[in-house]
């Protein structure tokens, strides 16, 4: 059988012309027959307002423009009611050229126009449906692939509601959007309608801490064994956190690749919870910043209550992961971490703080310290900046015996390091006891 012939066409008989020209013509007729049989005979429907728009004003590539000019298209009005198959089957019109033509022309289609960009995709006729309750969800907070993210960015879509009522034919005409990407959108909307992203914290009746810990446990349980091991080892789920080098030596990866995987998993954990988890993180961060207190394992234990003992991982593991996925959250997973090189970033705050604790030597709650700096010293400082400065400061002592009301004390080291240092050691306040951090 000639490779140019249709598989369904009968073999040539003795009275038929077996010449190459006849074979090509037969194959062409068979191809056209198959196209007309499988095509839905849909036509281009251009909005009447754009019929006079010249073809030269549209950003077509040279190949796509030549295809339309060869079909006697000079304005968009010339394309109105033209069969889609006529352009799809034109000479030199492949998949990329057809996709480009549909993508450029999509803003000028009539509102009720339904075009079929793929002969095998009958589901492209059905517009997408997004529940009204989730139309304000940002697309960046949903678990979508990088390719789909690029496709939606190219279409200038930011919220889930932008997909409502959209025809998949427009989406499929976008570059890099194939069958799998379109199927990913349908699967995402199906998951949302099935409630797989979970209820909001208020609907679930959970406290912010319990909701976050529960969502993190659900995410870790769905990870594959190698990825779960990397995340748990790095963030110390059962013991002290492992170094990147140690993890890499165990699983035969470089330390840089381990770091990339951990960051990737942290981003996936945030998108796994979706906008409800992001809202809970912001709510909890606002509360902690308003009260000027960091999130510590001791605070998690107190707020979780009896549930804390039933967690599958250490409380410090949850604190470290929350710190990675929520930069706004003031997290002290290890307690205070004095570091002189990092304290230089907050030098102005620490100098003012050293003078303030010199006048107030008694242990003072963090919130009272912030109020004193603002009112007595007239120093403009945010709660986030103060907590960051205290976390890495050298010479200050903190007490977390009451996780809901941590206190700060200054000593001789704080005054020598951040104060003027002119007073004698006898005039300096007594050095307090060691930190109490549960």
What is residue 321's predicted lDDT score, i.e. its pLDDT?
Answer: 94
**For residue 75, pLDDT beyond 50:** yes
Q: How many residues does the chain have?
A: 438
**Average pLDDT of the residues in 394-412:** 84
Q: Do domains 39-108 and 124-193 have the same CATH topology?
A: yes
| CATH of span 340-418 | 1.10.10
Q: Which two tokens stand for residue 39?
A: 């095509």
DSSP alpha helix (H) spans, 252-335: 255-291, 297-304, 315-325
What is residue 349's predicted lDDT score, i.e. its pLDDT?
Answer: 84
State how far the Cα of 351 lies from the Cα of 329, in Å rounded to an integer.
25
Cα angle vertex 383, ends 382, 387, to 5°?
Answer: 120
pTM above 0.75, yes or no: no
Q: Which CATH number fits domain 39-108: 1.10.10.10, 3.20.20.70, 3.40.50.720, 1.10.150.20?
A: 1.10.150.20
Domain 209-325, second-level architecture: Orthogonal Bundle (1.10)
Fold of 124-193: DNA polymerase; domain 1 (1.10.150)
Q: Which of 12-26, 125-139, 154-168, 193-207 has the lowest mean pLDDT?
A: 12-26
Domain extents in the chain? 39-108, 124-193, 209-325, 340-418
Higher pLDDT, 272 or 340: 272
- The rounded mean pLDDT for the chain is 78
What is residue 428's predicted lDDT score, i.e. its pLDDT?
Answer: 43
- Tens-place pLDDT, residues 286-332: 999 999 999 999 999 999 988 888 888 999 999 999 999 998 999 99
């Amino acid at each position: 059988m000639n490779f140019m012939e249709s598989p369904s066409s009968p073999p040539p008989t003795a009275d038929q012309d077996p010449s190459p020209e006849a074979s090509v013509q037969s194959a062409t007729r068979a191809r056209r027959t198959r196209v007309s049989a499988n095509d839905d005979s849909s036509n281009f429907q251009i909005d009447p307002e754009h019929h006079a728009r010249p073809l030269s004003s549209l950003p077509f590539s040279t190949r796509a423009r030549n295809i339309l000019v060869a079909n006697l298209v000079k304005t968009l009005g010339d394309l109105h009611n033209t069969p889609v198959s006529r352009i799809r089957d034109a000479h030199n019109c492949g998949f990329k050229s057809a996709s480009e033509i549909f993508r450029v022309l999509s803003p000028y289609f009539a509102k009720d126009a339904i075009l079929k960009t793929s002969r095998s995709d009958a589901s492209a006729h059905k517009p997408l449906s997004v529940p009204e309750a989730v139309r304000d969800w940002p697309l960046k907070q949903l678990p979508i692939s990088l390719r789909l993210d690029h496709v939606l960015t190219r279409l200038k879509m930011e919220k889930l509601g932008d997909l409502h009522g959209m025809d998949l034919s427009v989406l499929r005409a976008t570059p890099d959007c194939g069958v799998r990407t379109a199927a990913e959108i349908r699967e995402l909307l199906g998951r949302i309608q099935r409630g797989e992203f979970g209820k909001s914290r208020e609907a679930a009746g959970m406290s912010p801490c319990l909701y976050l810990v529960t969502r993190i446990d659900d995410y870790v349980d769905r990870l594959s064994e190698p990825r779960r091991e990397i995340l748990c080892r790095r963030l110390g789920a059962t013991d002290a956190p492992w170094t990147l080098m140690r993890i890499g030596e165990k699983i035969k990866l470089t330390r840089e690749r381990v770091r990339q995987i951990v960051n990737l998993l942290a981003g996936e954990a945030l998108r796994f919870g979706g906008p409800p988890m992001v809202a809970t993180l912001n709510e909890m961060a606002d509360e902690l910043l308003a009260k000027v207190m960091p999130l510590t394992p001791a605070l998690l234990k107190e707020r979780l209550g009896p549930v804390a003992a039933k967690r599958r991982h250490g409380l410090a593991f949850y604190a470290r992961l929350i710190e990675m996925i929520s930069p706004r959250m003031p997290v002290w997973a290890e307690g205070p971490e004095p570091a002189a090189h990092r304290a230089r970033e907050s030098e102005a705050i620490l100098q003012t703080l050293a003078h303030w604790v010199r006048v107030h030597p008694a242990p003072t709650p963090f919130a009272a310290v912030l109020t004193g700096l603002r009112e007595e010293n007239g120093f403009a400082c945010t709660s986030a900046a103060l907590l960051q400065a205290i976390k890495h400061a050298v010479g200050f002592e903190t007490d977390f015996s009451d996780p809901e009301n941590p206190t700060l004390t200054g000593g001789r080291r704080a005054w020598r390091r951040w104060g003027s240092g002119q007073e004698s050691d006898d005039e300096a306040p007594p050095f307090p006891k060691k930190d109490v951090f549960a």
